[in-house]
Amino acid sequence: MADYDVGVLALVVPAKSAPKATYRPAVSVRNNGIHDALASGYLRIYASGLLVFETELYSATLAAGATGNAQAVDYWTPAAEGFYTIHAYLSTPLDQVESNNMLAPVTIEITGATPPEPPVVAAHAAQHEEGGTDELSIDGLKGRAADQQDAIAHATSHQAGGADALNVGSLQGILAQDQPAQVHGNTRHNPVMTTAAELTAHAGSVAVHTAATNLANRETTGLETGLVKSDQLAIGSQVFPTGDKYLRSDRFWHAPVPDYLISLWPIALPIPAGWAAVLVDPAPNTPQIYIQRLPTP
């Protein structure tokens, strides 16, 4: 790195295409040395090979490695539109690198005159307001208006067939009005309800009417009258001696009474002949006992 070296970088003013106006030419320079430096030189403008403008260039003091502009002493006003070629040269005292002091020739184009300043627009907010000749609309615009906006009545858009119909399918809570039940399968019930076919099959099934089941049902439904076989305990069955007949809820039993038949008997009455008390679990929760028909000797 040289102790003193200033290099020309580029033409700054005017631009390569500029309107016809008055300019103060300037070029950018860089201090490539290790000491502060002041750049100075000249700038020349040619038209069709003829010199039409010349001025001196000076920069402020540049620190080592700094970049700045060197401006012309004079102002230039192009005489006519067209193409111009600009040359420039800058250096610094004791400059040790000459090869970077010359600006490569730059061709610029001067176009039509500077456009006039736009006219001052008179205050016209009223014409953009409601009822104005150029009323503004914020429909479709993004962002948030400064004032809170009132929602426009739009209930129909949320109703059936509307553009934004509501769906209460997943909403929680109870609706204000009763809703007609929709047709639905048995799987929608919890627990699942018994169908008519299942009830018919159950009524005709012996396997489901076990002794324990019948006893449990009796505890729930209360006493009933009748007799059943010993392997299928009676639900509240009770024996009433009526000659050779024994009453059941739906028919009469004719003699002989089946061996080992189990029935309920009032605890306050003596046990009939041919019967004996028997323990059955669970025991009845009424003032009755279970008795069993003994086999005929």
Per DSSP, the residues of 207-269 read TT--HHHHHHHHHHH------B-TTS--SS-B--EETTEEE-SSSEEESSPPTT-EEEEETTS
Chain-centre distance for alpha carbon 239: 74
pLDDT value for 59 = 94
Residue 72 · residue 90 · CB < 8 Å: no
Return the minimum-mean-pLDDT range out of 45-59, 69-83, 92-106, 156-170.
Answer: 156-170
Q: Which one is predicted more confidently, 43 or 270?
A: 43
Locus of tokens 């209460």: 168
Every domain of the chain and the residues it spans? 6-112, 211-293
Helix (H, G, I), strand (E, B) or coil at 288: strand
Q: What is the CATH code of the structural domain delimited by 6-112?
A: 2.60.40.10
pLDDT of residue 76: 96
Q: Which of 2 and 1 is assigned the larger pLDDT? A: 2
Could you tell me the pTM of the whole model?
0.41
Q: Which of 213, 219, 211, 210 is nearest to 288 (CA)?
A: 219
**Residue 262, both tokens:** 């189990």
pLDDT for 181 equals: 84
Query: Residue 28: pLDDT band by 50, 70, 90 thresholds?
Result: very high
- Please give the residue that has the higher pLDDT: either 144 or 90: 90
pLDDT digits (tens, 9 = 90+) for 49-93: 999 999 999 999 999 999 999 999 999 999 999 999 999 999 999
Model confidence at 232, pLDDT cuts 50, 70, 90, reads: very low
The closest of 272, 240, 245, 242 to 257, measured between CA atoms, is 245
